[in-house]
């Protein structure tokens, strides 16, 4: 067994005693009672996937392969797909959820944690639910006000909200049944991921590691919303017990992997589980994909000491109690935001001639992992993208990466431009697995990023903004036209068909831009994917031949699902660009900067004849920058403060991407009082732009205005391709 794997057997009787204690305090470890008929039907659908008529979970079934057995739409007739119906959504922000369909009803969550239900065949809206998330919560969301989906269990539907509520709805009416607050709202947590339901328990994690929180996953009773168990992914700062399922493993082994001093003691350490939570029906265990540390910089976070369990790990837990079973740490001593939160797929694969139950994982760090899910042993780790420079590979005997020493920027004191960067070779966008081809279809990308140990007072921990332990303002692009154009050329996307049996890419499709949509595959020898440039495409699953290319008028980041009603197969997906990359990318957004952002739900069928309306009229925003003011020192100060607090929502070098305001053409730019009203007084807090008066002085805010005016004048004169997005 690889040395990176640790077994629950090491914990002995102490772990068993603790589980018994937790069960007595938090409720029965085995559930609240027998399932009713509707819940049994949901469990059967999630375990088996059913006939394909339903798409009962965001990943189709508990295996989360996103593979449908339907063949009505196939590689011979997919070119005949047309629109059956569509529905416009309210908010032009990221739309990341996969539609869930049960008994002919479609449930979709969208921006700001809203949920709608439709008749899946006709598009008749059945109900809407708006949890009324306060707009100011957006400042705690690293990566847009998104939601990745809902969970259906019996007559209930569950959704997590950006402000931390787990809500149970009556799935027939949309009426709230219960609501539980899952985190302390005084801290910068969020929920953007989809809940999972296992054995009448609802499992949910959270986000917020960039700001400084302590990660955990909680199981709640599906009927009452009461807590059953909780597993922390980072030790208690005092290294004491929490009366949680994670206590035994931290006391026995985990605490020793964190230094006794370091910024994690006050930051919380990160390790949020903001996406992947997968139930293994065969082994009756749960897998968590754990995120990055806070700060990213291991030298600052833990004094450069220890591997820091369970950051960037896949962790296996007992489904009933949450007790630790094993983990595999993909990126020990994580320092680059290389999360392991990306989707996890369960499958079976021959290993040395014997069938082995495995999990497939393609996290941010660029390597594809095949792991024995019974033991946690690493079977293989191979690159699924080119150009990886932080490590050359993995030692399969130890399970550890073979690192490039230059990647540890906090040790060398030198800048390091990493491939992949913090946005990853693969981010949250769902991948899929086709058992017929044996291939995994990964929405991959190439987005380099610079890391720098040289930090000043501005880079240190603040009460607002990212706290990552590397200078964000000093790694913005320089005032060099060629550097800007090189950034565009270096930032690309790719659909990768990876063969885990060989550890090689079977085929791939290159895209001119990053941040393309998730994938879905079918027994009809098809792979579906939307693109950031507004296309919905289908490829032959075995060869990669393009078979369909539909113009959807808007960028697509979500993954499709497929289902059948009254003998007719449909394909459903959302349009609407958003998420981390377009927020921060600046000019590197490339061609996607000019793609409209139209939030919609679109449903296709063979022979569909519905036409999308003509895109809304657009007008070129007036780009008349105010005259430059301020000294060079003032502009430089504005750049530093912009890089520290503003670029993560308004783009590198103040170049917007069309779904948050491009400040270079803001109506407030020429008016110091109006600018102050937004930046310091919080005039737009209901839209997510809170007051930054806690970290900015009036002089700082005015310096930022001087810098943005400078950027507006400079890009207009030197970089016409970075013109402001169109208005509508």
User: Which sequence positions are flagged as catalytic?
Assistant: 337
Planar angle of CA 452, 455, 457, nearest 5 degrees:
160
Q: Give the neighbor-by-neighbor strand order of the sheet with 367-372.
A: 344-351, 354-361, 367-372, 378-383
The token pair that represents 718 in the structure block? 């030197």
In this structure, the number of other CB atoms found within 10 A of the CB of residue 720 comes to 8
- CA dist 527 and 75 (Å) reads 9
Q: Is 502 annotated as a binding-site member? A: no
Q: What share of the chain is helix, strand, coil (3-state, %, to 5)?
A: 20, 30, 50
CA atoms within 13 A on the CB side of 585: 32
Of 671, 3, 85, the closest CA to residue 400 belongs to 3
Q: Is 22 annotated as a binding-site member? A: no
Q: Is 431 annotated as a binding-site member? A: no
Q: Is 513 helix (H, G, I), strand (E, B) or coil?
A: coil
What burial letters (b/e) apply to 625-638, b meaning 16+ CB within 10 Å? beeeebeeebbebb
Cis-peptide into 295, omega within 30 deg: yes
Q: Is 142 annotated as a binding-site member? A: no
HEC string of 468-498 equals: CCCCCHHHCCCCCHHHHHHHHHHCEEEEEEE
Q: Is 272 annotated as a binding-site member? A: yes
Region class of 142: left (phi > 0), else alpha (psi between -120 and 50), else beta: alpha
DSSP state of 722: G
Return all residues near 275 (Cβ < 8 A) that are at least 6 apart. 148, 192, 193, 205, 289, 341, 342, 343, 428
Q: Is 13 annotated as a binding-site member? A: no
Q: Is 208 annotated as a binding-site member? A: yes
Q: Is 407 helix (H, G, I), strand (E, B) or coil?
A: helix
By CB atoms closer than 10 A (0-12, 13-18, 19+), residue 694 is exposed
Asked if residue 159 lies in contact with residue 195, where contact means CB atoms within 8 angstroms, the answer is: yes
Return all residues near 132 (Cβ < 8 A) that are at least 6 apart. none
Of 365, 359, 373, the closest CA to residue 394 belongs to 365
Of 23, 467, 428, the closest CA to residue 201 belongs to 23
Q: Is 689 annotated as a binding-site member? A: yes
CA atoms within 13 A on the CB side of 683: 9
DSSP-assigned beta bridge partners for residue 96 = none
Q: Is 172 annotated as a binding-site member? A: no
Cα–Cα distances in Å, from 306 out to 253, 299, 332, 612?
12, 10, 8, 55
DSSP-assigned beta bridge partners for residue 344 = 361
In this structure, the number of other CB atoms found within 10 A of the CB of residue 698 comes to 12
Q: Is 330 annotated as a binding-site member? A: no
| Cα dihedral 544→548→549→551 (10° resolution) | -150
- CA dist 110 and 97 (Å) reads 6
DSSP output for 420-438: S-TT-SS-SSPPEEETTTT
Of 168, 85, 152, the closest CA to residue 121 belongs to 85
The token pair that represents 209 in the structure block? 């590691």
- CA dist 465 and 644 (Å) reads 7
Q: Is 63 annotated as a binding-site member? A: no
- CA dist 678 and 699 (Å) reads 14
Residue 47 CA from chain centroid, whole number: 25
Q: Is 93 helix (H, G, I), strand (E, B) or coil?
A: coil
Q: Is 525 annotated as a binding-site member? A: no
DSSP state of 613: P
Binding site for Ca(2+): residue ranges? Answer: 210, 292, 337
Binding site: residue ranges? Answer: 96, 148, 192, 208-210, 272, 292, 337, 364, 427-428, 646, 649-650, 689
Binding site for pyrroloquinoline quinone: residue ranges? Answer: 96, 148, 192, 208-209, 272, 364, 427-428
Binding site for heme c: residue ranges? Answer: 646, 649-650, 689
């Amino acid at each position: 067994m690889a040395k990176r794997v640790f077994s629950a057997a090491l914990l002995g009787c102490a772990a068993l005693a603790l589980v018994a204690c937790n069960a007595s305090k938090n409720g029965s470890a085995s559930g609240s009672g027998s399932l009713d008929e509707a819940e049994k039907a949901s469990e059967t659908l999630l375990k088996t996937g059913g006939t394909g008529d339903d798409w009962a979970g965001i990943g189709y079934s508990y295996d989360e392969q996103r593979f449908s057995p339907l063949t009505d739409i196939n590689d011979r007739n997919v070119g005949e797909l047309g629109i059956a119906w569509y529905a416009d959504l309210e908010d032009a922000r990221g739309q990341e959820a996969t539609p869930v369909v049960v008994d002919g009803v479609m449930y979709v969550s969208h921006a700001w944690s809203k949920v709608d239900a439709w008749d899946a065949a006709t598009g008749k809206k059945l109900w809407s639910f708006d949890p009324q998330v306060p707009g100011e919560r957006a400042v705690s969301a690293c990566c847009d006000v998104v939601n990745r989906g809902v969970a259906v269990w019996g007559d209930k539907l569950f959704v997590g909200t950006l402000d931390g509520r787990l809500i149970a709805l009556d799935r027939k009416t949309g009426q709230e049944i219960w609501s539980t607050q899952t985190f302390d709202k005084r801290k910068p947590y969020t929920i953007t991921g989809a809940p999972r339901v296992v054995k009448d328990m609802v499992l949910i994690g959270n986000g917020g590691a960039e700001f400084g929180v302590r990660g955990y996953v909680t199981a709640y009773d599906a009927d009452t919303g009461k807590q059953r168990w909780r597993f922390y992914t980072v030790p208690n700062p005092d290294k004491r017990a929490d009366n949680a399922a994670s206590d035994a493993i931290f006391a026995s082994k985990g605490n020793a992997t964190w230094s006794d001093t370091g910024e994690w003691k006050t930051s919380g350490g990160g390790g949020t589980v903001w996406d992947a939570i997968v139930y293994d029906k065969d082994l009756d265990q749960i897998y968590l994909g754990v995120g990055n540390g806070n700060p990213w910089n291991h030298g600052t976070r833990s004094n450069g000491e220890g591997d820091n369990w369970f950051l960037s790990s896949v962790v296996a837990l007992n489904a009933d109690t949450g007790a630790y079973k094993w983990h595999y740490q993909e990126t020990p001593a994580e320092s680059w935001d290389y999360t392991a939160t990306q989707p996890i797929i369960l499958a079976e694969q021959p290993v040395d001639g014997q069938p082995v139950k495995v999990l497939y994982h393609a996290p941010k760090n660029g390597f594809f992992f095949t792991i024995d899910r019974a033991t946690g042993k690493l079977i293989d780790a191979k690159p699924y993208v080119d150009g990886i420079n932080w490590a050359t590979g993995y030692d399969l005997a130890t399970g550890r990466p073979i690192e490039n020493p230059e990647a540890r920027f906090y040790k060398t004191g030198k800048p390091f431009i990493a491939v992949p960067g913090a946005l990853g070779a693969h981010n949250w966008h769902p991948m899929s697995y086709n058992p017929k081809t044996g291939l995994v279809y990964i929405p991959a990308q190439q987005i380099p990023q610079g890391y720098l140990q040289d930090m000043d007072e501005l880079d240190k921990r603040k009460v607002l903004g990212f706290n990552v332990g590397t200078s964000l303002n000093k790694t913005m692009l320089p005032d060099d036209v060629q550097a800007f154009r090189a950034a565009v050329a270096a930032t690309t996307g790719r659909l990768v068909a990876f063969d885990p049996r060989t550890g090689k890419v079977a085929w791939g499709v290159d895209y001119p831009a990053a941040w393309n949509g998730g994938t879905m595959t079918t027994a009809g020898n098809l792979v579906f994917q939307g693109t950031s440039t507004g296309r919905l495409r289908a490829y032959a699953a075995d060869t990669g031949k393009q078979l369909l290319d539909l113009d959807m008028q808007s960028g697509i980041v979500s993954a499709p699902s497929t289902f059948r009603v009254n003998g007719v197969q449909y394909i459903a997906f959302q349009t609407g660009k958003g998420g981390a990359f377009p927020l921060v990318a600046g000019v590197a957004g490339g061609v996607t900067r000019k793609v409209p952002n139209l939030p919609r739900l679109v449903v296709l069928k063979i022979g569909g004849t519905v036409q999308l309306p003509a895109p809304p009229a657009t007008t070129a925003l007036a780009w008349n920058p105010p005259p430059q003011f301020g000294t060079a020192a003032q502009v430089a100060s504005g750049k530093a403060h912009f890089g520290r607090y503003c670029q993560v929502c308004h783009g590198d070098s103040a170049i917007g991407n069309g779904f948050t305001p491009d400040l270079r053409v803001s109506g407030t730019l020429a008016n110091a009082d109006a600018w102050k009203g937004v930046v310091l007084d919080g005039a737009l807090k209901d839209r997510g732009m809170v007051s930054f008066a806690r970290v900015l002085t009036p002089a700082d805010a005015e310096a930022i205005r001087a810098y943005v005016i400078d950027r507006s004048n400079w890009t207009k004169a030197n970089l016409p391709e970075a013109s402001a997005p169109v208005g509508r």
